[in-house]
Amino acid sequence: MTDESPELRASDADRERVTERLREAVAEGRLDMEEFQDRLDATYKARTYGELEPLTRDLPDMAAANQAVPTVPGTGAWADRIGGTGTSSTGVAIMSGFSRKGRWTVPRRFNGFAFWGGGEIDLREADFEAPEVVINCVVLMAGIEVIVPPGVEVVVRGIGVMGGFDDRLTGEPADPGAPRVIITGFAFWGGVGVRRKATKAEKLRLKEERRRKRLE
């Protein structure tokens, strides 16, 4: 989209690129849900470049966003998220809590320890140092929750004594090229929960996809 030809008719792909950027802006905290909904309605009604351009004018990085629709977890496009150096290798909670979430790089082995406390290890927006990583959790009268994005392979091998590890995701199919997350460790009078959950941006994408299908 350019200012030189605002009268040109916009395509469905143009509207989808703007929609994707708006979803990203919500996830980044640049737009609240009311602003997002107003701009989304205007996007679907837009017929020309001139009508689309103001909807993202105050959002950064639109030039990059206009080149392609960003990939999201669950599409099989994992190559850009595997590699690099781990940014955090340990989480400790002693009568307290710890959290690892947002943009971070999971090392080949991450150790989590919780005693009379809790921990959260959120991999939804994380990169991975290697195609296979180990999340080792030791909990004593405590709990740790591991959140993985759609498409990642999960293998649970932890041991529980008067406690346990949630292994419901073991064996679920994974995306081609997705990382493998092995969850191991020991739980005594506590537990390690493992659940699969989409990011806010992905939830918005799916919601708008369903809405678009209803309008067709």
pLDDT in the model for residue 210: 73
Q: In angstroms, what is the C-alpha Rg of the chain?
A: 21
**Where do runs of H (alpha helix) occur along the chain?**
12-28, 33-45, 49-52, 62-65, 200-215
pLDDT in the model for residue 77: 67
- pTM for the structure as a whole: 0.62
- The helix or strand, by DSSP H or E, that contains position 108, with its residue range, turns out to be none
Predicted confidence (pLDDT) per residue in 206-215, tens digit:
677 777 777 7
Predicted confidence (pLDDT) per residue in 76-125, tens digit:
468 889 999 999 999 999 999 999 999 999 999 999 999 999 999 999 99
Q: From the DSSP assignment, how many helices (H) and strands (E) are in the chain?
A: 5, 13
Best CA proximity match to 65, nearest among 1, 4, 7, 10: 1
Predicted confidence (pLDDT) per residue in 159-197, tens digit:
999 999 999 999 888 988 999 999 999 999 999 999 999
75 versus 44: the higher-pLDDT residue is 44
With bands split at pLDDT 50, 70 and 90, how would you rate the model's confidence at 133? very high
Q: Is the distance from CB of 78 to CB of 177 less than 8 angstroms?
A: yes
Looking at the chain, the whole-number percentage of residues with pLDDT higher than 70 is: 87
Our CA angle for 211, 41, 206, nearest 5°, is 30
The residues with which 155 forms a beta bridge, in sequence order, are 182
